[in-house]
Amino acid sequence: MASIYIDEDVGKDDVSQTGTEESPYKTLQFAYLQRPSEAQYLTRKSLNAEDESAKEWKPAAKAALKKAVNYFDVQKKKAAKEQELVVRRKKEEEERAKALEAAKAIVIKEDPSLPVAVRIGLDEVGDHVKLRKLDDPESKGTRVRVFGRVHRERKQKDVMFVTLRDGYGFMQVVISGQLAKTYDAVTLTRETSMEILGEMREVPAGARAPLNRELHADFFKIPKHWKAPGGDDAITNRVQADAEQAMLLDQRHLTLRGEVASGVMIVRDAVEYAFNQAYKELRFRKVSPPALVQTQVEGGATLFKFDYYGDDAYLTQSSQLYLETCIPSMGHVYCIEKSFRAEKSLTRRHLSEFTHIEAELDFITFDDLLSHLEHIMCRVLELVMEDPVVADKIRSMNPEFKLPERPFMRMKYSDAIDWLVEHDIPNEEGKPHAFGDDIAEAAERRMTDIINKPIFLTHFPAEIKSFYMSKDREDPRVTESVDCLMPGVGEIVGGSMRMDDYEELMAAYKREGIEPEAYYWYTDQRKYGSSPHGGYGLGLERFLAWLCKQHTVRDCCLYPRYMHRCKP
């Protein structure tokens, strides 16, 4: 047995050290791990110490040696457990490999003696889909054929419970017997597509399943190209709920398969359809204005410019001006089209491309416009909530949602300025708000969230509004304009009465530095039978963010486009 040397100053805790006087270790614990139960362990503190006795090799203290022995025992047990785990894992892998080989040998075939399967959707119900009653052994359920993707799966002994999804609903499938031992079953992964045949049955008492039914499979198919990957490339690794938004947007094609993302898109479909229904009830006619234009609506700073066969052209900021040209011959009109704003903004309520629901109404007053806005939004919400599937999705995302009470609160811009001052909410410069300020998003949202009800904010100063908005005859400083503000999201609608006087519009062009020649087709509306008219634009994504309680409008469109984001 040897003497082991430990030098706290020049020693090294490295496996290349030998523990001799010429190659000492640095600590006793490491030395004992490398060379346990040797004759003696000699230590010294420093060759450079002034005290000569500190340079001498001395036996390690008993207490220090005891600690080293205990540490060695702990590490030995830990290593033994790790080795045991390695052996166990290896055994499990071998057993799994054998099971997979055995599973590959299992071949299943559809039983030709069973009734012909009826194809149904996962949410399909009716007399043609009968369930086997658990309390009636003589009853028989309909044999059906379904298609879907694996939303989730779990195993319980020799039985698999698979939840399928097809975009319309969910269905619980029970796979047992030889079917559960096949290679496709034991390697089943989330998002794999399946064709399953089996009998529809009641769910046992105390159990839960979509529509209180489950499909007991007697046969299934998974063609090779229907399989989704597992392991590192599994969808649960590619897309995680707590991942950064940029990563989720890069993987948007997969994120859309999640319950929340797909739920918002399903609600979006219902909302857009409801707007069409509500407008038809009011006898509005739908038109499709151009997206490629050579005039501006909301100011040149937010125009997307491009070359149009050698001429300058832009992506439309709004279809409003074109809608106005339709009302003399078509009456009230609306459109649901894309608008584009080149705003260098990364706030959670701005997009470079968004869906714009716009309408123009003929022969109306400003009060008529406000009443219409209130009606159209409330009617759309009523229609949407009449669909139980869509209503359930809204409540799952926004449990506190209630249909807004009418009438909406009316607040003039000047009163809002006073309110902000009274509540110590400053403007963007940190100063008290004053008449003429363009109320910033943060202040507007704070006010709306505190009041906590829909607000029609009206009569904005002419200087901060668009050139085409008509002025209030009783107070020419302000326009007959309105923003509809909703708690949690702020402005979702902007509208106004439009100038219907030719001379007033020409003066507005001059004030804004706009060349009227390019707008001849718009100006002519004031020459050939003008009329009092007004309209508005509603941002569908903002409406959805409020309805579905989403933090950002980016989650309310299929593939969001905003500054620096134009993929995938």
The most confident of the ranges 3-12, 283-292, 482-491 is: 283-292
DSSP H helical ranges for 151-232: 183-186
The SS3 of residue 471 is strand
CA distance 90 to 273: 57
Statement: residue 49 has pLDDT above 60: no
CA distance 285 to 335: 8
Q: What is the mean pLDDT of residues 149-176?
A: 95
Average pLDDT, the chain: 93
**In which band, very low, low, confident or very high, does the pLDDT at 137 lie, cut at 50, 70 and 90?**
confident
Query: Measured between alpha carbons, how far apart are the two ends of the chain, in Å?
Result: 69
CA distance 49 to 465: 83
Tens of pLDDT, residues 286-317: 999 999 999 988 777 889 999 999 999 999 99
Q: In what order do the strands lie in the sheet with 58-59?
A: 3-7, 40-44, 58-59
Structure tokens belonging to residue 388: 């139980």
pLDDT for position 101 = 86
Tens of pLDDT, residues 93-136: 888 888 888 889 999 999 999 999 999 999 999 999 999 998 88
The SS3 of residue 145 is strand
Residues in Cβ contact with 230 at an 8 Å cutoff, skipping those fewer than 6 apart:
187, 189
Q: What is the mean pLDDT of residues 238-264?
A: 93
Q: Is the dihedral of CA 363, 483, 481, 417 positive or negative?
A: positive
DSSP assignment letter at 480: S
Structure tokens belonging to residue 466: 């668009």
CA distance 159 to 162: 10
DSSP H helical ranges for 290-365: 320-324, 327-330
Q: Please tell me the total number of residues recorded for the chain in this structure.
A: 568
What residue type is assigned to position 388 of the chain? P
Q: What is the mean pLDDT of residues 170-179?
A: 96
Q: What is the mean pLDDT of residues 137-153?
A: 95
Number of C-beta neighbours around residue 261 at 10 A: 19
Q: Is the peptide bond between 568 and the residue preceding it cis, with omega within 30 degrees of 0?
A: yes
CA distance 441 to 345: 12
User: Taking CA 564 as the corner, what is the angle to CA 563 and CA 568, rounded to the nearest 5 degrees?
Assistant: 115
CA distance 193 to 118: 19
Tens of pLDDT, residues 206-228: 999 999 999 999 999 999 999 99
Q: Is the peptide bond between 407 and the residue preceding it cis, with omega within 30 degrees of 0?
A: yes
Tens of pLDDT, residues 438-468: 998 889 989 999 999 999 999 999 999 999 9
Going from the C-alpha of 89 to that of each of 81, 158, 231, 234, the distances in angstroms are 12, 22, 17, 22
Structure tokens belonging to residue 59: 């036996």
